[in-house]
Amino acid sequence: MADEFDEQQEPVPELKSARARRFLRIFLMAAGGLAAPCLALAAFFLSSSGGGDPPAAKAGLVQGGRVTATTTTTRVKAAPVTTTTTTAPASPVGPPPRDPFQPLVSQAPAAPAR
């Protein structure tokens, strides 16, 4: 049966042109470069390592026995909340120290030194 299968298939033809080989090489490089991140994302989203299950549900799967617990609660008086804010004293709005539309550097040549 294996002999019949081998006889029916034709050999893979070689790529004759350099342009086809170049295109195939670039295509395979791009496909290989994209395959690894895609597989990593798929593995992350399809696995349960994303933390989707709450811890209590996971613990229920692991522990099959009965759990009996008694707890006592004590109330603690909360500390009073005090808020303090620090603001700068209000200053009168005056003119800016310089004209904002004046250039910082003058374009005129510097005065000669005496």
Residues 6+ apart with CB under 8 A from 21: 15
Contact 34, 40 (CB under 8 A): no
- Per-residue pLDDT of 37-84, as tens digits, reads 999 888 888 886 555 555 555 555 555 666 667 777 777 777 777 777
In DSSP notation, 62-75 reads H--S----------
CA distance 52 to 47: 10
Name which residue leads in pLDDT, 11 or 23: 23
Confidence (pLDDT) at 61? 57
Confidence (pLDDT) at 30? 93
Cα Dmax for the chain:
109
Question: How confident is the model over 24-44, as a mean pLDDT?
Answer: 90
Q: Has residue 28 got a pLDDT over 60?
A: yes
Q: Where are the domains of the chain?
A: 19-49
Which SS3 state, helix, strand or coil, does residue 35 take? helix
Look at the pTM and tell me if it is higher than 0.85: no
Phi, then psi, of 52 in degrees rounded to 5:
-75, -30
**Structure letter (DSSP) for residue 56:** H
Confidence (pLDDT) at 45? 85
